[in-house]
Structure 1
Amino acid sequence: MSASLAPEQRSSRRWAIAGGLVGLLLAVLLFAPASWLAHGLADASNGHLLLTETRGSVWSGSGVLVLTGGEGSRDASALPGRLEWTLRPQGLGLVLRLRQACCTNGELNLLVQPGANRLAISLPHQVPGDWLARLPAAWLGGLGTPWNTLQLNGSVRLSAQDFRLERVGGRWTQTGRLDLDLVNLGSRLSTLAPLGSYRLSLVGGQAAGQSLLQLSTLDGALLLNGQGSLGGGKARFLGDATAAPGREAALNNLLNIIGRREGARSVISIG
């Protein structure tokens, strides 16, 4: 039988094991695959926003951004090109830098602050009136009905003001404002092009953690207006669509499809 280890040897062995575990943990963190980021994005978006064909690591990589109708949906639409990112520590959080040749206004910086059972994402150093990204409106077809039926063309311009998302206990809440400008929209359901330009705003800080959802018309022959709320994974919206004077005949077919007809207007109801 071998002699028992001396106290000094036992202590050295414990330190060696601890050092090996720390080294293994650092290796996992430093070389974590990009697919880990993809899994986190899919989970946070309930399967509506996917990162596919990933390359590299969590810290520096790229992938194809895909919009889908969620679990069980056959609809999917990918942005052209690849989304590139880097992730670096900053203070008590991380800075995620995003760039996509087709769509971002230079480099988009997100401040990520993880914590115990919580996650906060904010947009620092925003320039008022500046846009963050410009996306093809056709990308929205990936969400399924009714977007795949409308088959929109035009562009979607994203801007924000003091925008912050926080997830606590599996629920997202928003502060600040996020604007989606749908610019020069057209649809295969209408020969009139463009239909118009519109603003969809999401304003946080409302009661019970809800965000206010507002739709307004900037210009055009198709007039869209309405409001609702978003929170707890559920959206509620009530609005209407009408044709500008003299455009009723050209838009009649589209108005029959996008909502419930009540005379000259079409009622749009969600939730």
Structure 2
Amino acid sequence: MNSGWRRLLAVLPWLVIAVVSCGVTLVAMMPAAWITPQFAKATQGHVNLIEPAGSLWHGSAALVLAAGPDAGAGTLLPGRVQWQTAFWPLLTGHLSMSMRQTPAMPDPIQVAAAPRGAMISAGQIAVPAALLAGLGAPFNTLDLHGAVQLSWTPWRLLGARTYGQLVVTLTDMSSRVSPVKPLGSYRVALQAQGDTSTIDLSTLNGPLMLSGHGAITATTTSFHGKASAVGAASDNLAGLLNLLGRPTGDGAIALDYTR
């Protein structure tokens, strides 16, 4: 073995260490901006992370929730989302993250993803009522105010199929177009069952009574319900009811939507 080969063999371990060190450093410093577009893509613009800081492993970003696919009409939540990503699961093709939004989310959630599916652990988050305006008419006209909380069971995605339950609780809602305050408290339950989902609306309390049932598939959305007023506030709620839908002739308003 000549002297050139001996020098190469002597230097080779140090070259390997240098390459590995550079690779680990690059991975450790992978910017948070690399991950934020994936949330908008996976949720069709409903969940958006903006103004990212830190790295993929330890980072944070502002959270924008959009009721529709237009992120520009979304609602910015106070505080920031913070996350931590485990390194070793990535070596087996799995993603494991812990995420928390302060102060709206009291407990962190776990996000796990693999080539064939993903799961988000159960959790809850308080959101501004202004988020409802992103649904369009009549919500943008009503300008609703009150406490809105989202809670969900473990949410699973298997290919194009989704499984889980999301419950939206609206407490002591009021509107700028109605003198009756509060209008009431309501519960909206979305049940994802693979290729189809169902949505149910019910009234918890209040003079404005809302109810309905709907179904959502990949190509169609339909909802059929009704709105009515009870008690002494009925006369003061007549104008608001006319904004919600068409009269059915029995003092109620039809809440029908099909796409």
TM-score tier after normalising by the smaller chain length: 0.7 to 0.9
Name the aligned partner's letter for residue 148 of structure 2: V
User: For residues 213 and 72 of structure 1, what CA distance do their matches in structure 2 show?
Assistant: 22
The residue matched to 2:240 in structure 1 has which SS?
helix
Report what 1:197 is aligned to: 185
Residue deviations 1:222-242 (CA, integer Å, cap 9, x gap): 111111123327532221111
Report what 1:164 is aligned to: 155
Name the aligned partner's letter for residue 230 of structure 1: I
Per the normalisation by structure 2, the TM-score is 0.80
| Structure 1 residues not aligned, in runs of 5+ | none
Name the aligned partner's letter for residue 262 of structure 1: T
Aligned: 1:65 with 2:63: yes
Residue deviations 1:43-65 (CA, integer Å, cap 9, x gap): 11222322111111222222221
Residue deviations 1:14-72 (CA, integer Å, cap 9, x gap): xx69x84x666544532222222220111112223221111112222222212336566
Report what 1:267 is aligned to: 254
User: For residues 67 and 147 of structure 2, what CA distance do their matches in structure 1 show?
Assistant: 20
| Structure 2 residues not aligned, in runs of 5+ | none
Structure 1 residues 234 and 104, CA, compared in 2 at 3 Å: closer, same or farther?
Answer: farther
Residue deviations 1:78-114 (CA, integer Å, cap 9, x gap): 1122222222257664443333333112x22123122
User: For residues 67 and 147 of structure 1, what CA distance do their matches in structure 2 show?
Assistant: 16
The residue matched to 1:194 in structure 2 has which SS?
coil
Aligned: 1:175 with 2:173: no
More helix as a share of residues: 2
Name the aligned partner's letter for residue 265 of structure 1: A
Name the aligned partner's letter for residue 87 of structure 1: T
Give the aligned length: 248
* 8 Å CA contact retained: 2:62, 2:80: yes
Give the percent of matched residue pairs that are identical in Structure 1 and Structure 2.
32
Aligned: 1:113 with 2:130: no
The residue matched to 1:246 in structure 2 has which SS?
helix
Report what 2:237 is aligned to: 251
Structure 1 residues 190 and 28, CA, compared in 2 at 3 Å: closer, same or farther?
Answer: farther
* 8 Å CA contact retained: 1:73, 1:144: no
User: For residues 43 and 233 of structure 1, what CA distance do their matches in structure 2 show?
Assistant: 19
Structure 1 residues 28 and 133, CA, compared in 2 at 3 Å: closer, same or farther?
Answer: same
Name the aligned partner's letter for residue 137 of structure 1: A
Structure 1 residues 218 and 86, CA, compared in 2 at 3 Å: closer, same or farther?
Answer: same
Name the aligned partner's letter for residue 84 of structure 1: Q
**Aligned-residue RMSD, C-alpha:** 3.2
The residue matched to 2:131 in structure 1 has which SS?
helix
Per the normalisation by structure 1, the TM-score is 0.77
